[in-house]
Copies of this chain bind each other. A is one copy, B any other.
Amino acid sequence: MGDRVEPIFRPKSIAVIGASRTKGKVGYAIMRNLIVNEFQGKLFPVNPNADSVWGVKAYPSVLDVPDPVDLAIVAIPADAALEAVEQCARKGVRGLVVITAGFREIGGVGEAREARLRELVRTRKMVLVGPNCMGVINTAADVQMDATFAPTPPLRGHISFLSQSGALGVAILDHAKNLKLGFAKFASLGNKADVSGNDLLESWEDDPETKVILMYLENFGNPKNFVRIARRVTKKKPVIAVKAGRTEAGGRATVSHTGSLGGSDVAAEAAFTQTGVLRANSIEELFDYAMAFARQPLPRGKRVAIVTDAGGPAIMCTDFLIENGMEMATLSEATTASMRAWAPPEASLRNPIDLIASAGPEEYRKTVEAVLKDENVDAAIVIYVPPIVTEEVNVARAIVGAAKGSKKTVMCNFLGRSEESPGFVELVTNSIPSYLFPESAARTLAAMHRHKEYLERDEGRFPTFDVDRATAKGIVDATKEAGRTRLPEADAMNLLRAYGLRVAETRACRDVDEALTAAKGIGFPVVLKAVGPGLVHKSDLGAVALDLGEEAEVRSSAAKIAKRLEKAKATWDGFLVQEYVRGGRETILGMSRDKVFGPLLAFGIGGIYVEYLRDVAFGLAPITDEDAKRMIESIRTYPLLAGVRGEKASDVAALRDALLRLSQLSHDLEDIREIDLNPMIVMERGKGCKIVDARIIL
């Protein structure tokens, strides 16, 4: 389908509408950046009041430009901007970057303005970044376009970065320069009236210049597309994202029932997990990760060797490695022996290898070479606490030399040595990431390993079950027609059954006699519940009787319930008679339709503690069979389900099946807003699971 955003990133000629001779103006800074960074095409300043800008002949309007124009950068006030875009359309300009603010973000007149802009772009088949953005960059040697008003241009490199916040994006480029991180492309997306993050992901997917993709996101435009595209892109190159707004919903989220288990950030997190996008929890982590992914191969395993000249930071590093799921490598005898030949007696040659404070470049070179050769080592973190500053750069050189040619991951922590220190510069300009603190190196290496595991994992398939969709749809429609938003319990059970979910056998009865017939039909023991739209907290009202073994018990319980409800002045419709499920383990299964991401599935262990201990996993429907498996296995109490210490293993396969059917149901029946199956009893292996209580809200 070609690359939609090509006119934005590979223009041969650019018109800068609003190019200015006045220092401090945006149109001045953009012209400067384009010229100073030696844009490889032609520049046409557009300014009715200037003859030239930055020595380049200016034109009163884009229509006056004698040559074809591929891309127009618009940096004039909002009220004039639409007219300029109209002229661009007439001129045949294909790409637009609208820097100008005063659109949707100010509401009212701005919204109308943005709608017109979008319409113009759509009908005239142009491509637009912005409005209300900071511009775009492409550092490729044959383009060299810095069409932003950022103070400093980024270095050329292999990271491409899209930012929903212009200011933040520019600050990140600025700091990245200190870290010697190079970029391929950058885009500040602004209001995303046309080009979205998804468009850029697709464009960068096959861009040979882009090896790592960074994103700063505040929300998702089209999350369904995002999930589809990201799943594909992350298999080709790492995608690292910071998503702000973590607590917005998270703080409010409670787990009183699965319907409210979700919340937008929970959904976003599920999307990242399912698609293999690495979430950086802070801006600092974004940099830490970018530095390593852009420079080093992924570790082939978990086993890390630490080389150090001081014990303290090595212990800190070990703590963080272990806490993040990595392991300390057990060095081979040969490696230890080779070091014993020259190491001082005070050195500790077990991992972490502590060369003590006297270690210089030669000791570091030999040790790093030795551990990288060791078959038991997958990656190395080299810590150096510089006792005397002048040695630093030589130690850095020794590490660079030792790492050269090795396919294993190597990263450094030169403790407290910041971006300006010669050791840091020596390392990072030779592709060895170096961190100020040991914990950053450990966390980053663990993230690389997670990505490696992601690349190897089986994504599974989307199974399709043969279900009775028509019946289910009929139940939903009938409830809607009746003006209800909550399905009567028996209907909810029937709907679930239509999707092949196993439910405790349940019959709705108008009176005691019907209940007795139903009980006999189902078989004893049974559960008896009073039902009605007004009956929400049944247990509190004493409207439920469990484990009724014979007719007489059903009869007396029905009488008691009736009495209690009468006393509580509760109105009710009749009884529900249900098979009594004995034994097994309580789980909960749920779905809530996230306003952004759609159906968010939840699975967790049941019982009274769950509300407080939050042992729940989430997934976005549709999920694959492997997603379902991972969800179930990711809860902390999974060992209980898998069977431990005399406990019988539960039927995990049945849980997986139930989750997948719920996924299909949620996807098919869009009128359902919330499903809460609590509890679903899972029996021992081979004996399935059964839904005992179901709440379905439209």
Q: Chain A interface (Cβ within 8 Å of chain B)?
A: 24, 101-102, 105-106, 149-151, 163-168, 170-172, 174-175, 178, 216, 218, 242, 244-248, 251, 281-284, 309-313, 315-316, 318-320, 322-323, 345-346, 357, 385-389, 415-416, 418-420, 436-440, 537, 540, 605, 607-609, 612-613, 615, 636-637, 639-640, 646-647
Contact B385 A170 (CB under 8 A): yes
Contact A316 B151 (CB under 8 A): no
Kindly state the separation between the CA atoms of A345 and B612 in the bound complex, as whole angstroms.
44
Contact A386 B171 (CB under 8 A): yes
Contact B357 A167 (CB under 8 A): yes
Residue from B312, B345, B613, B646 in contact with A540 in the complex, judged by beta carbons closer than 8 Å: B646
If A282-B316, A416-B172, A438-B283 touch, does A609 touch B167 (CB 8 Å cutoff)?
no
Contacts of A282 in B (CB 8 A): 316, 320, 437, 439
Contact B251 A322 (CB under 8 A): yes
If A175-B436, A282-B437, A312-B167 touch, does A151 touch B346 (CB 8 Å cutoff)?
no
Given contacts A246-B323, A607-B609, A612-B637, 16 further A-B contacts (CB under 8 A): A151-B387, A151-B389, A165-B311, A168-B313, A171-B310, A174-B386, A218-B312, A244-B316, A245-B315, A245-B319, A283-B437, A283-B439, A284-B439, A418-B419, A420-B420, A612-B640
Closest 4 CB pairs of A and B: A175-B416, A165-B312, A167-B310, A168-B312
Contacts of A323 in B (CB 8 A): 246-247
If A284-B440, A615-B613 touch, does A167 touch B387 (CB 8 Å cutoff)?
yes
Contacts of A165 in B (CB 8 A): 310-313
Kindly state the separation between the CA atoms of A345 and B164 in the bound complex, as whole angstroms.
21
Kindly state the separation between the CA atoms of A418 and B151 in the bound complex, as whole angstroms.
16
Contact B612 A609 (CB under 8 A): no
Contacts of A311 in B (CB 8 A): 165, 167, 218
Contacts of A416 in B (CB 8 A): 171-172, 174-175, 178
Kindly state the separation between the CA atoms of A171 and B385 in the bound complex, as whole angstroms.
6
If A168-B385, A218-B312 touch, does A244 touch B640 (CB 8 Å cutoff)?
no
If A167-B312, A416-B171, A640-B608 touch, does A318 touch B440 (CB 8 Å cutoff)?
no
Contacts of A647 in B (CB 8 A): 608
Contacts of A613 in B (CB 8 A): 609, 613, 615, 636-637
Most buried by B among A163, A312, A437, A607: A312
Tell me the minimal C-beta distance from A679 to chain B in angstroms.
14
If A418-B178, A419-B418 touch, does A346 touch B105 (CB 8 Å cutoff)?
yes
Contacts of A315 in B (CB 8 A): 218, 244-245
What are 15 pairs between A and B in contact, CB < 8 Å? A102-B346, A150-B387, A151-B387, A151-B388, A167-B385, A168-B312, A171-B313, A178-B418, A216-B312, A251-B322, A283-B313, A605-B609, A608-B640, A609-B615, A613-B636
Contacts of A310 in B (CB 8 A): 165-168, 171
Contact B284 A437 (CB under 8 A): yes
Nearest residue (CB) in B for A647 is B608
Most buried by B among A320, A605, A609: A609
Residue from B167, B174, B386 in contact with A309 in the complex, judged by beta carbons closer than 8 Å: B167
Kindly state the separation between the CA atoms of A546 and B313 in the bound complex, as whole angstroms.
54
Tell me the minimal C-beta distance from A207 to chain B in angstroms.
25
Residue from B106, B166, B216, B312 in contact with A345 in the complex, judged by beta carbons closer than 8 Å: B106
Kindly state the separation between the CA atoms of A106 and B356 in the bound complex, as whole angstroms.
12
Tell me the minimal C-beta distance from A165 to chain B in angstroms.
3
If A170-B385, A385-B168 touch, does A322 touch B247 (CB 8 Å cutoff)?
yes
Contact A418 B418 (CB under 8 A): yes
Contacts of A439 in B (CB 8 A): 281-284
Contact A319 B283 (CB under 8 A): no
Tell me the minimal C-beta distance from A539 to chain B in angstroms.
8
Kindly state the separation between the CA atoms of A637 and B439 in the bound complex, as whole angstroms.
32
Residue from B24, B248, B318, B607 in contact with A247 in the complex, judged by beta carbons closer than 8 Å: B318
Tell me the minimal C-beta distance from A391 to chain B in angstroms.
10
Kindly state the separation between the CA atoms of A245 and B320 in the bound complex, as whole angstroms.
10
Kindly state the separation between the CA atoms of A101 and B356 in the bound complex, as whole angstroms.
11
Contacts of A309 in B (CB 8 A): 167
Contacts of A607 in B (CB 8 A): 609
Kindly state the separation between the CA atoms of A242 and B420 in the bound complex, as whole angstroms.
26
Contacts of A345 in B (CB 8 A): 106
If A385-B170, A387-B151 touch, does A244 touch B312 (CB 8 Å cutoff)?
yes
Tell me the minimal C-beta distance from A290 to chain B in angstroms.
13
Kindly state the separation between the CA atoms of A281 and B443 in the bound complex, as whole angstroms.
13
Kindly state the separation between the CA atoms of A315 and B164 in the bound complex, as whole angstroms.
12
Nearest residue (CB) in B for A356 is B101
Contacts of A283 in B (CB 8 A): 313, 316, 415, 437-439
Tell me the minimal C-beta distance from A3 to chain B in angstroms.
27
Tell me the minimal C-beta distance from A329 to chain B in angstroms.
16
